[in-house]
Structure 1
Amino acid sequence: MGNSESTAEMHQVFNTAAAVYDQSGVEFFGPIGRRLVEFSRIGSGQSVLDVGCGRGAVLFPVAEAVGPSGEVIGIDLSEEMVKYAGRDARERGLGHVTTRVMNGQQPDYPRARFDAVIGGFSVFIWTHGSAELKPYRELLRPGGLFATSAPSFFPTATGKWGFLPEDVHDLLLPHMTQPKEGDAYDCPFTNIHNNWLVTEEAVTDTLANAGFVDAEVVEEDLLITVESGDQWVRWTRTHGMRRLWDRLAEQEAEELAAEVARRLDALRGADGIITLPTPIVYMRARARRD
């Protein structure tokens, strides 16, 4: 589990980003959330916990999947995220959806409380192995479902990490993987080539060691489209990647952003749009029925 320092930093990063989170015009968390819910096969009438619900990219597709006869609880460490998600749920008239401020690493619910536990682009942030996944299995009823999505750590044909556009990989990866003084953010980036998400086999083995069965893992490309390299850079400041920029000196951040934008602008197609294939990993498994 994350220590108090890492939890505090995650809280700060996402509380600060909440107002602009998934609001930049770049389609990313929404399509991933919808695909994760489709992949999970959550059904009508089920009780579901959404871990790290953010502003609702998974929460609202799950609410649609379970329908009014079901129940969806979204939890997030960030009060601001919960505020926005709760407001939107009320505006949509979703009486079967509730949101709570809660540490997703340690959900405060009884054993066997839910039919499904799901986490869109959240669980991977603080998970280093099977020990951190066991709490979610314990929350599930026999045969209950666990499903989550994450950026792909599977190596590309050139040995690079596919979540970053290849043309700026060398610029950004060092800032995401090299710990700086006082770094306490409990995330797998600093161990990028040796973590539980690095291969399909590693994912399935980790889920099995956490007590899950019938694991399925798929990697799929999401096509991110932006109008300019600058828009992509601005988008990275609206979610967890803002940590990269926040930790740089102002001039260094400006120079890095300018070079990243320049390289991405060179990828503009004939239609004036920059298209960036971004691999996403989706995984699901079940608690034992016995």
Structure 2
Amino acid sequence: MTTGQNTVGDVFSAGAEEFHRWSERLWDPIGEATADAAVPADGESVLDACCGAGASALPAARAVGPAGRVDAVDLADGLLAIGERRAREEHLRNISFHHHDVTSWPAPGAGYDVVQCALGVFFFPDMDRDSAALTRKVRPGGRFVVTVWEKGSLAGWQSAFRGAVLTERDLPRPPQMEQLARIDTADTLAAWLGDLGGSEPRVVRRRFDAPLTPESAWVLATGSGTRRMLDGLSPAAVERVRTEFTARLTADAVDDLDVRVLTGTARFSG
């Protein structure tokens, strides 16, 4: 999977520590919400796709207990290392982190009880094809769970950052934004899960408070997928982007990230 000159894994690995600085306030609450919707039970097996630093994989491992199993898969070595560290700190021995393209990850036996993916499917080169590959890893009757940004979420922060970068370079609309736009409402996400072959699609909306300062806003910009917008810019140009970004956040009074997500769940017959 590639974005510009760098793979998705490269982009997120490069900003891994910045990414993790937002774990407690952003990624972990979203991951908890994803695992809550998946309802992993004691002894079940879970595949956590695009696992990052373990935001949804770790709560799933707690839920399935010692008799259960979680395979957490991602392309970002830097984030996987953080996830492994966090699992060790919690003494979780039922979770394994793997550097692998999750779409070709081999499912065990009849498949996983749960396949979950938080904020990842729209990064796939082909969201429909690659998500369908994930659903084939679900055992008959198992659950497929996807969390995505709701339409309009993060708008102030994103607009300020994109506008700041545009003062230094042209930016095409990222393909993942085109894909996300197809599933960023409750109705379109439910319909998409149905089109993939899922039954009983259900979508839950969650909102989280995430206060924002210019410093934390920059940490997020350099610790998430938006980091790729800075690829190839000189250090001086990056500093000009940061100054312009701060000015735009201040002018528009953007002091909260406006985090809204949708978590869709469906059952698959295998």
Q: Give yes or no for the alignment of 1:208 onto 2:198.
A: no
- SS of match in other structure, 1:202: helix
Count of residue correspondences = 267
Q: Select the structure that is richer in helix.
A: 2
Provide the residue aligned with 2:153 in structure 1. Answer: 162
Q: For the residues of structure 1 that align with 2:32 and 2:42, how far apart are their CA atoms?
A: 16
Provide the residue aligned with 1:288 in structure 2. Answer: 269
**Deviation by residue 1:157-203 (Cα, 9 ceiling, x = unmatched):** xxxx332227x6265169699439xxxx7x422x26x8422433322
- SS of match in other structure, 2:82: helix
**Deviation by residue 1:232-261 (Cα, 9 ceiling, x = unmatched):** 112221122211223545444333322322
Provide the residue aligned with 2:128 in structure 1. Answer: 130
Q: Give yes or no for the alignment of 1:179 onto 2:169.
A: no
Q: Give yes or no for the alignment of 1:14 onto 2:12.
A: yes
Deviating more after overlay: 248-257 vs 62-71 = 248-257
Deviation at 1:120, TM superposition (A): 1.7
**Deviation by residue 1:17-47 (Cα, 9 ceiling, x = unmatched):** 2233222577110111111111222222210
Pick one of 118, 142, 145 that aligns with 1:144: 142
Structure with the larger RCO, 1 or 2 (CA within 8 Å, 6+ apart): 2
Provide the residue aligned with 1:157 in structure 2. Answer: none
Q: For the residues of structure 2 that align with 1:280 and 1:239, how far apart are their CA atoms?
A: 16
Q: For the residues of structure 2 that align with 1:90 and 1:14, how far apart are their CA atoms?
A: 22
Unpaired runs of at least 5, structure 1: 155-160
Pick one of 222, 239, 246 that aligns with 2:231: 246
Give the TM-score normalised by structure 1: 0.80
Root-mean-square deviation (CA, aligned residues, Å) is: 3.0
Q: For the residues of structure 2 that align with 1:260 and 1:142, how far apart are their CA atoms?
A: 48
Q: How does 1:101-140 map to 2 (within 5 A)?
A: 101-110=99-108, 112-126=110-124, 128-140=126-138
Q: For the residues of structure 1 that align with 2:198 and 2:241, how far apart are their CA atoms?
A: 42
Conserved in 2, the CA contact under 8 Å of 1:131 and 1:210?
no
Q: For the residues of structure 1 that align with 2:187 and 2:243, how far apart are their CA atoms?
A: 38
- SS of match in other structure, 1:218: strand
Provide the residue aligned with 1:158 in structure 2. Answer: none
Provide the residue aligned with 1:261 in structure 2. Answer: 246
Q: Which amino acid aligns with 2:136?
A: E
Q: Which amino acid aligns with 2:185?
A: T
Unpaired runs of at least 5, structure 2: none
Inter-CA distance 31–99: structure 2 relative to 1 (3 Å threshold): same
Conserved in 1, the CA contact under 8 Å of 2:19 and 2:219?
no
Q: Which amino acid aligns with 1:287?
A: F
Q: For the residues of structure 1 that align with 2:149 and 2:4, how far apart are their CA atoms?
A: 20
Provide the residue aligned with 1:188 in structure 2. Answer: 176
